[in-house]
Structure 1
């Protein structure tokens, strides 16, 4: 250290400066700007505003009101069956095994309540259980599928009868699944022939096994009763008389009635006797006679006498003679607002003939709602006026100078294309196909057309290697057509779409496929609001439930009397307003797990929705989110197992979330193939059929690809040029130019593709659902 350098001691004091906090009361403008970065706070919506907290007294009053409303509803439902003039409880006896004796079940139940019975058969039987002050109405249906299903719709209680010596057969299993899917009120399970087993332990094991089987369908089932034991039969009668039916939502939202007797009146009207149930019966609404269709009510009368069992109960048949049918009063007659039987909303509709919508021949395919590159469109002239064209460019060359870039939606859907007839050979086409054409491309290489025979061999070898025509699941949309057929003729009813979810598609457009009745169908702007309004109207007014009435219907069928004479049960269901008008109906359907049938779109099926059945040919489409802008759904060729689909038909309007069942007719009867529920009535839902024309990359130079086997003549290449291309590996592109005379073309993609990739082009065509027909068992 030199003397000139001064000695420096390190300071022992360390000072720390506090950071600037800014304004403690609020942030500065710069700080707010940096914090939010231009973001604007959303205004709170009305539905998201928090309600003011209720006071303790208000919460207590609200809970008391809810409790009183529930108590009044229970009392109102129970009042239907109370008293000497109360309605009898309907009990359906459903045998699940072949060796079941349903008549013996009814006799054992009646004997346990102190009533000795004689020989009984199928039909409706009346029991007055004086011990429990309750009337019961037993229905013993024939052991066929539709009869068993129909009686369970109207029943307050369903008794499933099992056997201790036989297993549940296929018919019994189908009945359980259908009854569970369509909705059922209270259920009880009983076993017959249990006394055949002497061992008490074996009896207990059988009952335990049967209970486990029934709980698979009805988890609330608590016990299986031995119907041959008097004490357990008495417990079943006690449960029937003391329990109150839960009801079925879709059934109780309407008025319905089990028919006690059927006859002709003197003035030629069909008279149906019974007790009003569910909601009030309105004479202005149409009624559906189960299995026969819809009819108008001519008038509704009442009678004072109640059906009683015959003396000594020698027969369980209802003793309703002519004296008991003496009309006391006219309860209701239709007003001027009565519903008519017309299936359409009115005669003021747009009647468009098919020749009025015939389009002139176009030079290019339709993309969304436009025909690009067509000199007959005024849009083309306007576009050409905005272009900067090189000197000497002709009008034809100017039409192709267009920069198009579209994203392609490549989701899966089912599709089936019918093979069309091959056009006649054109001599000019034959002459051009035999000519070897040389084309100089942008890459300065010469393109030489192959001979027709060699090219056809390569095409067949390529198709055999992929087996496109055999595997619908792997290639659901790809379409092959003959090389002698022009693609523009084969797909003249198709159009292209830039985006499947956002491209516009006018649901009211009239095209060549539009049926004549389409414009006359019922259209609901707000289905949910209309449904709530119709259900609310049905709950007000009408003849109150529990009233014994005689319903006169106009133009009733003679077959109804014939069916009732065969000891079959009949029921009528009141329809809501407009429920007989034709509309586009959508059902959410899931294939049945036990069905092995292959269900194809437009197959002849039987659809049951609530109380009605139709013979239908539904269109299947994908069931996805409802937030798409254009409401376009993809057509599915099959109803695939494990996949929920939407079945669309044109049928009578439906209000409410009603269970729906799909059946297929077989030599052994109806077979359940699908279950679900009614979704909505939406005429704006556009079902489109997608077809994918595929090609193979012949030569690849970076993003420029030569494609073959998609088209087979240059005219088709020019026709489909506006539609974007896609590949199986996710690349997108567009047609650039045609090569030669055999349909080869150059295409540009957003990135290089692989040689093993497949190039596709999407085409779409709208499909229209078919009208449902009435299905009758007679």
Structure 2
């Protein structure tokens, strides 16, 4: 029999020591005891990562740093060297009266070994053997602001020139109004690497030069805080400027770097028939590779297909023969690179052809037949000017009733102006501005006739009404008076009530207009954008830096004549996939400080979206989160909104500039960027009907002036009410037949409170897209898209 071992058992008075303070988390031992050898599912599903020690992590950091440095150096060495494209420098004066001839001569003749060539398009090529670098100087015309902005899109460096003698010679500031306007537009578009130089500093007295230079530096620092101005008065100064341009860090512009771009050094037009031909553009390719199957956009001309790409010998390359005459005399050999494949070539289709029968079709019921017969018996009453016959009145569409009524709430200034014309002009009905002008001129006094000849009174009235309506909209947003001559259930038949603007559902495919059948939509716009950007890394074709000739097919002869007349080098941009197709584009806009007047929705504006420039009538909405966005009747100053319009697809990031034509000049009124291309964006217009309490008893009140008949109250009874003091309620019942109603609220109502009813409807942009293309002296504006 085994002997049992006695085990000691502690008593009640055993000392207990404090446990180890390991914090709020469990120790490794406790975790191992609790798991009992089990492994988490996440640990099993993940790949085993080898943990690096301290030495290995240090080596890994050094390798990443070295790779990034080599990548930056490789990009830097690809620009401006002998075998690559030269530095494209845009020379711009900041004073419109300044002549740049002296500055360009200094840069060209700063060294005896410099090789100077000039291309047929007017671009000056400068080869500096001392730096082993090449530069190309382009000077856009000062009288064409859009041409300057287009040049800034593609250049590597912009050289701003300021004259120290501006105050004495030109009697103007160093940076005049034209220069400030240009700088504002350039910064909004995206400014390339800047360099600022000062000329004519030697004409200043030696004792005042330093003071003058400091004053110019202080002025420049407002626009370029980190830029130090350089003097350009001698050959040594010009060499220092070239050295800085060739060695400074280049600024990355994402929109430009992701697209192919080319400035034409040489142009040639080969006619194919009486109207079209092939346009040959020769120049240095920059950005991304270009394939012959891609579409290209030539600024001011339009979108076209490429027939083939060739690679002629570079006439501006530096060889051992430094004599430019020997270089020009050599035989130029052309290498064929790629011809377009009809099976892979991108088509020029921009719109979808909708099928009018491709919609919900249903056979009408018996009730609908009866209602149609009743409506046929009822005569439609239309308001027409006096003297119109029944035949003339029949041409007024039935839809105009809703449109005219909408304009009373949206654009009352247009309706007011029309009614004024009717009252002053008698029974004559006319939309033209001539009748308005004639009425105004007849009322003008004889002594002030000359003054009023230069004033457009029609524009004055329109601007006054716009400011007035914008002020009312800011003080009482979306508030509309209920019409007394038309039932509210007819006037607001397209509107609906929502329990909550944020959470209530709204089908984005409901009651779409016909124009939505002409456009294209992505299943996922963001996923498509990422895929296209990723495909650019492995794109085939002519590589950046090559000197190539692009054969653009089926260009209209009128455009070629306009290019030759303008004497501005054409700029070619490569389009990404789908960027030719039309869709609904949403852009975020912010007002500029140069224009402080309100802009009404559906007003004609000029947009520069990426490489395109066009006119549209956008609608504005709030820039908020959520799936519904409130419609804005006016684009108020110091406000950020989203403008929605029909335009070709443009993948962000892309800069957007908004101009308005005032007295024949284009004024920058807003700037921003592309948000997305989404036709499903819900832009909801709100209308607020107001009423006033007549009698108040605790939570109930009798409200008047919101409606003026009993049927309207019954029709809008399900819609929720709210007050300006935060109460919510509903309509209980109508009282009498003149629009009084009894309402119940969630608390005591104050007698000075105002009762509000919110009604909503979805609004859509109008299809008013027109691209701004070149014009000739003998022709009118050509704004149609090329087919």
Give the TM bin, normalised by the shorter chain. 0.7 to 0.9
SS in 2 for 1:296: strand
Instruction: Give CA-to-partner distance per residue, 1:3-47, whole Å, 9 cap, x none.
Output: xxxxxxxxxxxxx9x99x9xx99x9xxxxxxxxxxxxxxx9999x
On the 8 A contact 1:727/1:757 being kept in 2, the answer is yes
**1:70 alignment counterpart:** 68
2:121/2:569 contact within 8 Å kept = no
Structure 2 counterpart SS, 1:471 = helix
Number of the residue aligned with 1:501: 502
Check whether the contact 1:80–1:545 (CA below 8 A) recurs between aligned residues. Answer: no
Q: How does 1:187-336 map to 2 (within 5 A)?
A: 187-200=194-207, 202-221=208-227, 223-243=228-248, 245-265=250-270, 268-307=277-316, 324=332, 327-334=334-341, 336=343
Change (3 A) 1:81 1:120: closer
Q: Residue 547 of structure 1 aligns with which residue? A: 546
1:770 is matched with: 766
Structure 1 partner of 2:615: 615
1:351 Cα shift? 4.1
Where does structure 1 lack aligned partners over 5 or more consecutive residues?
1-15, 28-42, 362-413, 422-466
What does residue range 162-177 of structure 1 map to in structure 2 within 5 Å? 162-164=162-164, 165=166, 166-167=172-173, 168-177=175-184
Q: Which sits farther off after the overlay, 476-485 or 706-715?
A: 476-485
Alignment partner, residue 416 of structure 1: 410
Distance in 1 (alpha carbons) for counterparts of 2:593 and 2:145: 19
The answer to whether the aligner puts 1:537 opposite 2:535 as a matched pair is yes
CA change 1:314–1:552 in 2 (3 A) is same
Alignment of 1:434-473 (within 5 A): 471-473=472-474
Matches of 2:316 and 2:361, distance apart in 1: 60
**Which residue in 2 is equivalent to 1:740?**
736
Determine helix, strand or coil for the equivalent of 1:538.
helix
- Return the offset for 1:79: 3.9
Q: In the TM superposition, what is the alpha-carbon distance from 1:505 to its structure 2 partner?
A: 0.6
**CA deviations over 1:320-342 (Å, ceiling 9, x no partner):** 89964x53223343352221111
Cα deviation, 1:268-287, whole Å, max 9, x if unaligned, reads 31111011111111222211
Q: How many residues matched? A: 633
CA distance in 2, matches of 1:331, 1:693: 65
Between the aligned partners of 1:499 and 1:322, the Cα distance in structure 2 is: 77
Whole-angstrom distance in 2 between the partners of 1:604 and 1:50: 61
**Equivalent in the alignment of 2:451:** none
Q: 1:646-685 maps to which residues of 2 (within 5 A)?
A: 646-685=642-681
Partner of 2:568: 568
Deviation sequence 1:674-701 (CA, Å, 0-9, x none): 1111111222210011000100101111
User: What SS is found at the alignment partner of 1:344?
Assistant: coil
The alignment status of 1:341 with 2:335, answered yes or no, reads no
Per-residue Cα deviation, 1:593-632 (whole angstroms, up to 9, x for no partner): 222232211111111122111212111111112xx3xx11
**Any conservation in 2 of the 1:156–1:247 contact (CA below 8 Å)?**
no
- Counterpart CA distance in 2 for 1:273 and 1:596 is 44
1:92 touches 1:138 (CA, 8 Å); kept in 2?
A: yes
Quick check: 1:100 aligned with 2:98? yes
Deviation of 1:234 (Å): 2.1
Inter-partner Cα distance in structure 2 for 1:290 and 1:304: 26
Decide which moves more: 468-477 or 258-267: 468-477
Map 1:47-66 to 2 at 5 A: 55-56=53-54, 59-60=57-58, 62-66=60-64
Asked whether the equivalents of residues 695 and 707 of structure 1 are also in contact (C-alpha less than 8 Å), the reply is: yes
Q: Distance in 2 between matches of 1:328 and 1:719?
A: 77
Q: Secondary structure at the match of 2:106?
A: helix
* Alignment CA distance shift 1:218-1:351 (3 Å): farther
C-alpha separation between the residues in 2 aligned to 1:420 and 1:179? 35
Verify the 8 A CA contact 2:117 2:126 in the aligned structure 1.
no
8 A Cα contact 1:415 1:635, kept in partner: no
Would the alpha carbon gap of residues 194 and 205 (structure 1) be closer, same or farther in structure 2, given more than 3 Å must change? same
CA distance in 2, matches of 1:571, 1:118: 20
- Note if contact 2:270-2:279 (Cα within 8 Å) is conserved in structure 1: yes
Q: Distance in 2 between matches of 1:354 and 1:615?
A: 36
Report which stretch shifted further, 145-154 or 702-711. 145-154
- Cα offset, 1:574, TM superposition: 0.5
Give how far 1:249 is off. Answer: 1.4
Aligned to 2:691: 695
Q: Is the Cα contact below 8 Å between 1:141 and 1:569 reproduced in 2? A: no
| In structure 2, distance between residues paired with 1:576 and 1:108 | 41
1:710 aligns with 2:711: no
Cα gap change, 1:179/1:694 in structure 2, threshold over 3 Å: closer, same or farther? same
Alpha-carbon distance, 1:644 to partner = 1.2
Q: Tell which deviates more after alignment, 552-561 or 484-493.
A: 552-561
CA contact (8 A) 1:345 1:521 kept: yes
How much does 1:305 deviate? 3.7
SS at match of 1:537: helix
Q: Is the 8 A contact 2:115 2:324 kept in 1?
A: no
Q: TM-score, normalised by structure 2?
A: 0.73
Deviation at 1:521, TM superposition (A): 2.3
User: Displacement of 1:344 after TM fit?
Assistant: 3.1
Partner of 1:581: 581
Change (3 A) 1:51 1:314: closer
> By how many angstroms is 1:479 displaced?
0.2
Structure 1 stretch displaced more, 121-130 or 633-642: 121-130
Q: Distance in 1 between matches of 2:748 and 2:686?
A: 26
Give the Cα–Cα distance (whole angstroms) in 2 for the partners of residues 52 and 346 of structure 1.
57
Distance 1:314 1:68, change over 3 A: closer
Could you tell me how far 1:212 is from its partner in structure 2? 2.6
Q: What does 1:38-187 correspond to in 2, within 5 Å?
A: 55-56=53-54, 59-60=57-58, 62-81=60-79, 83-114=81-112, 123-143=122-142, 144-164=144-164, 165=166, 166-167=172-173, 168-187=175-194
Do the aligned residues in 1 keep the contact of 2:117 with 2:125 (CA within 8 Å)? no
Q: CA deviation at 1:254?
A: 1.2
Cα RMSD after superposing both structures: 4.0
Kept after mapping to 1: 8 A contact 2:296/2:572: yes
Distance 1:75 1:592, change over 3 A: same
SS of 1:539's partner is helix
**How many angstroms does 1:713 deviate by?**
0.6
Structure 1 residues 230 and 288, CA gap change in structure 2 (3 angstroms): same
Q: Report the alpha carbon displacement of residue 217 of structure 1 after superposing the two structures with TM.
A: 2.4
Q: How far apart in 2 are the matches of 1:356 and 1:53?
A: 71
Question: What SS does the aligned partner of 2:151 have?
Answer: helix
1:349 & 1:163 partners in 2: Cα distance?
64
Task: Give CA deviations for 1:294-344 in whole Å, capped at 9, x if unaligned.
Answer: 1111111111242379xx99999xx989964x5322334335222111113
Instruction: Indicate the SS of the match to 1:104.
Output: helix
Would you say the 8 A contact 2:201–2:231 is kept in 1? yes
Distance apart, 1:739 and its partner CA: 1.0
Report if the CA contact (8 A) 1:297-1:552 is conserved.
Answer: yes
Q: Who is 1:479 aligned against? A: 480
In the aligned structure 2, how far is the partner of 1:470 from the partner of 1:63?
59
**CA-to-partner distance for each residue in 1:251-274, whole Å, 9 max, x for gaps?**
011111111111123653111101
C-alpha displacement of 1:120: 12
Q: Which SS does the other structure have where 1:715 is aligned?
A: helix
8 Å contact 1:159–1:188 — kept in the other structure? Answer: yes
Question: Which segments of 5 or more consecutive residues in structure 2 lack a partner in the other structure?
Answer: 1-12, 25-40, 167-171, 369-407, 416-467, 776-787
DSSP-derived class of the 2:658 partner: strand
Compute the displacement of 1:206 (Å).
2.4
- With over 3 angstroms needed to count, the CA separation of the structure-2 counterparts of 1:56 and 1:229, relative to structure 1, is same
- Please tell me whether the aligned partners of residues 280 and 549 of structure 2 are also in contact (alpha carbons under 8 angstroms): yes
More displaced stretch, 157-166 vs 346-355: 346-355
- 1:468 to 1:420, Cα distance in 2 relative to 1, 3 A: closer
